[in-house]
Amino acid sequence: MTTKDKLEEIAAAMRARRQASTVAEPSRTNPIAGEDASAEGGSISAGSAVATPVPEAERENQSTILSPLVGVDLDAAIRLRWALRDIRAKRTKLTPVSPSDLKTLIEMGLVDLRDDAPMLTNKGHQAVDE
């Protein structure tokens, strides 16, 4: 068997695997609830999502516990999270945090200034570790 024949055989096997993976029917069992999700089962129709209703007050409480950056737009949240990581790693001399971002982090209670150097508070450490 030549190298070309081996490569063609491998390519055919890969095509067969790819077709088998796209043809295979997805599992009809809800992995979380462990119940039948088929239309005949009656519990869940195809394409529907299962969600447990959460009271509004509890949802707000969870979001403030989970991340202090929840109310911030995505670009700002990413920038602030990187600033927190830079502060934790003491890289502020190499990559200084912008004054507006530093002010925002101080107002959120995530950073304190000690000896003119930004330091993470306990809340700041928790936000970075999330």
Tens-digit pLDDT profile for residues 28-73: 555 555 555 444 444 444 444 444 455 555 555 444 445 778 888 8
Residue after which a domain boundary falls, among 10, 33, 52: 52
**Contact indicator for 81, 128 with CB cutoff of 8 Å:** yes
Domain extent for 27: 1-52
* Lowest-pLDDT range of 20-29, 37-46, 95-104: 37-46
Give the list of residues 6+ apart from residue 41 with CB closer than 8 angstroms, or none.
28, 35
Structure tokens at 35: 């119940």
CATH number of the domain within which 61 lies: 1.10.10
Q: What sign does the dihedral 102-104-109-110 (CA atoms) show?
A: negative
Give the list of residues 6+ apart from residue 108 with CB closer than 8 angstroms, or none.
68, 69, 123
DSSP letter at 29? B
Structure tokens at 29: 């069992």
Res. 121: pLDDT tops 60? yes
Give the confidence band of 19 by pLDDT, cuts at 50, 70, 90: confident
Residue after which a domain boundary falls, among 33, 52, 71: 52
Note whether 66 and 110 are same-domain residues: yes
pTM over 0.85: no
Q: Given the structure tokens 């190499």, which residue do they identify?
A: 94
Q: How far apart are the C-alpha atoms of 15 and 22, rounded to whole Å?
A: 11
DSSP letter at 44? S
State how many domains the chain has: 2
Note whether 83 and 124 are same-domain residues: yes
